[in-house]
Amino acid sequence: MHRKQLFYFLLILLISALIWFLSTDKKSTITNDNNFAISDTASVSRIFIADRSGKTITLDRIEKAWTVNNKYEVRKDAITTILNTIQQIRIQRPVAKNELDGVIKDLATTGVKVEIYTNKTTPIKTYTIGNPTANHLGSYMLLNGSHTPFVVHIPSFNGFLSPRYGIQGQRLNETNWRSTIVFKLKIKDIIRVCVNDLHKSEQSFTLNTKPMTLFNHKGDEVSFKQEKVLQLLNSFRKLNCESFKEEQLGSSTLLYELIVNNDTLRMYSFSKAEDNTDNSNVKRMYATLNNGELMLIQDYVFNKVLITIDQLQ
């Protein structure tokens, strides 16, 4: 009986020592599985991102909205994604010894720096995002002040993290963050709508709202159906482009001019040969607003405002 008790005592002692050893070894590599994350994203007021080519993105919270580089409103889905990522990221595993040197080199040469601020002037969290793992289910990341990189992921998310920070090929692009809203107007804020069809001028018109009057392409006042006019005006509540483009317009043909109040949207032909998107069946046009940046718009979005005068009568 004494021997059996001694055996159990030694077994318990051995198991306790093993548990202590394993827990101590784990703490030597991962001190906290949440040390990259920020739980309270409502307190985040600024996010600064910089790639190795010198491009930077600064996202600032302005009341209930966000701006990018103090110029444009940020897409709501983009800011929601990055804030969720900042909150949900976790360490998946340490970097294996046989890949450590390569990971550290890649982080130093191609890594993208992320700084997260609250209302203070110094960041509360700074880390570098590197390349994805071979299975694309995590990203190599290094916390500021640490010499040990980790593989970081979002549990239950199948993918790597850099696209969720607006990073494509370890590079940043301001246009990826911009809101795609072209017109966002209530009916009461619309004074004038003018549609100029450059190929069928007889279908062009000008609509004034104060008072409500409709003019044909010759400048003659004509009759209209009020429900049709209200339907047109209501279409300007939210009109989005597909994306902004960094290239030049080239030799495209001007098709339409859409004037809303003092803003002029010019729409140009777009060839399917130029289409490198996932869905080449969607009909598109190039467009510029007030001769500004080039954007890509989809026909089915803008067809509801590019109507003819016949459709108002």
More confident residue, 256 or 272: 256
The three-state secondary structure class of 65 is strand
The pTM (predicted TM-score) of the whole model is: 0.77
Closest among 275, 277, 261, 268 to 302, alpha carbons compared: 268
Residue type, 18: L
**pLDDT value of residue 68:** 96
Task: Give the three-state DSSP class for 173.
Answer: coil
The mean-pLDDT minimum among 29-33, 98-102, 154-158, 175-179 falls in: 29-33
Q: Which tokens go with 203?
A: 């279908």
Q: How many residues does the chain have?
A: 313
Alpha carbon distance 310, 289 (integer Å): 26
Q: Which of 233, 241, 252, 221 is nearest to 293 (CA)?
A: 241
Percent of the chain whose pLDDT exceeds 90: 77
Backbone angles phi and psi of 40, in degrees to 5: -100, 85
Mean pLDDT of the chain: 89
**Residue-level pLDDT at 35:** 86
pLDDT at position 284, please? 93
How far is C-alpha 21 from the geometric centre of its chain's CA atoms? 45
